[in-house]
Amino acid sequence: MSGFVSFVIAGSGAVGSHIIRELLQLKNTGKIDNVTILTRSVSSPVESMLNTSAHLCAQNSRNLDEYKNAGADITVVDYGSAESLKDAITGADVVISTLNHHPAALQVQHLLAEQARAAGVKLFVPSEFGGATDRENPEGVFAIKESVHHKLKELDLPYALFFTGPHSDYVFVPYVPRLVLVCRASRVLTRGIRLLGLDLNSGNVTIGLDGNAVNSFTTQRDIGRFVAYVLTNLPRSKLEWRIFRIEAERKVRNFGHM
């Protein structure tokens, strides 16, 4: 047993929602004491619903009510403010970041990690949950994710990294205008999407590579279950500075962009 009983989760979106639901179940059985969710806002501005696209797996802030009713504490934070973050994190054993893959969101993890260290947090789980980022010369989002590992080493705040490969319940699901999602008309696809070689507009699939490359796939629900399980059941020595490479399935990924 890790002995960790107090968890802070930054972000409650596609991946975060699954981890939160698992942790709340553990809270309701008495295995852990606290689940605190950090958010920038508890409201969903109508403007952003109208103007942006959203993934069908996206969760909106209305889910915060569900988590609150199930026992979570919801804390509004300013990710640019050290004080706001430290106040929100103080008392936590573990901070789990599930902030999204946009550079601005991933970057705030540096300050989040600093404040976690200052607040006495014991373990930091950065927003990984994808392809391995401990590779040589990572680029783009991978480089930002890797920079968080360096930050945590610098701070001497142990991390646990979860590499999952593509999420099979995410990568084959298209983006839709946010309004469609909000109205729960999730089967209405009003815009053509091209994702991993699938072109929903034309119905064509682009085949590439040589058909032999294998890839790990994991569902987001399995990620939530795995993360919550190991963070509460493994001893700390098996969590600190560890990388968990998980996969539900290993499949040939013989599609790609040519």
List residues binding ligand NAP (CB under 6 A).
11-16, 39-40, 58, 61, 79, 98-102, 104-105, 108, 127, 129-130, 166-167, 170-171
- Number of continuous H segments (helices) and E segments (strands) in the chain: 9, 14
Cβ proximity to ligand NAP: between 16 and 177 the closer is 16
Residue nearest ligand NAP, CB atom distance: 13
Asked if residues 19 and 223 have their Cβ atoms less than 8 Å apart, the reply is yes
Cβ proximity to ligand NAP: between 117 and 167 the closer is 167
Cβ proximity to ligand NAP: between 2 and 97 the closer is 97
Question: What amino acid is encoded at 103 in this protein?
Answer: P
Q: And the tokens for 5?
A: 């009983």
Q: How far is the CB of 22 from ligand NAP (least distance, A)?
A: 14
d(CA 211, CA 86): 49
Alpha-carbon torsion, ordered 85, 63, 182, 172, to 10 deg:
90
Cβ proximity to ligand NAP: between 48 and 204 the closer is 48
- Sheet architecture: strand order including 6-10: 73-76, 34-39, 6-10, 94-97, 123-125
d(CA 206, CA 156): 45
Residue with tokens 């119905």: 203
Q: How far is the CB of 58 from ligand NAP (least distance, A)?
A: 6
Q: How far is the CB of 138 from ligand NAP (least distance, A)?
A: 13
Cβ proximity to ligand NAP: between 14 and 92 the closer is 14
Q: How far is the CB of 54 from ligand NAP (least distance, A)?
A: 8
Q: How far is the CB of 96 from ligand NAP (least distance, A)?
A: 10
Among residues 181, 154, 145, the alpha carbon closest in space to that of 63 is found at 181
